[in-house]
Amino acid sequence: MTERESGSRSRTRRAILDAAVEMFSKRRTASLGDIAAEAQVARSTLHRYFPDRESLVRALAADVLVLVEQTVQEAQLDQGPAREALQRLMAGWFDLGPRLFFLFNEPSFTTTYPQAAQWVQDFFTRLDEVGKPIEELIARGHADGVFAQSLPPAWISRLVWWMVYIGWEAVAEGDLTRLTAPTAVLQTLESGILTPGRLNG
């Protein structure tokens, strides 16, 4: 295969994955035909890359792992104050929202462990691995008193993941826009829902 052909295949595959994220985040039951139309490719073309829905979902999961790792690396979480590192993470992290929103609503990923398929278990194992720098950032911020020491690090980690999810849920439901949601997510993480100075009612 020539370099040009390889590049064309890569672009087509990327277009299909991006279209799948777009369609699945709006409608989980979107068909492969819907996705092919969104990607502007023939359905037969889509089937050459992904013969069925499961193969497409597995490819989306693998793509998420690559993008999560890339986002974490680019945020340089071991550099500078913990609060600034968290802000960098969330700025990049939010772009992954549609993918996380889809995967965490996908039935394959909501099956109770250990009944989940082995590839799903492997996905979460790998997600834990690529997310280690996030855990290290939270531990550093926790030890420094930047993150509330009254909250366990595991709880803060859970909040970071789920705030991105509910931020995109709010976008999908029209309660926030793509531009306002990241600010709302970060503000909630940093200062909660109470007005500063009004903690006592």
The residue among 161, 158, 141 whose CA lies nearest residue 90 is 161
Phi, psi of 172 (to 5 degrees): -60, -35
Q: Kindly report the pTM of this predicted structure.
A: 0.81
- Which domains can be identified in the chain, with CATH numbers? 1-51 (1.10.10), 52-191 (1.10.357.10)
* pLDDT tens-digit profile, the chain (201 residues): 433 345 788 899 999 999 998 888 778 788 999 999 999 999 999 999 999 999 999 999 999 999 999 999 999 999 999 999 999 998 888 888 888 877 777 887 776 666 678 888 898 899 889 989 999 999 999 999 999 989 898 899 888 888 888 888 898 889 999 889 989 999 998 888 877 555 554
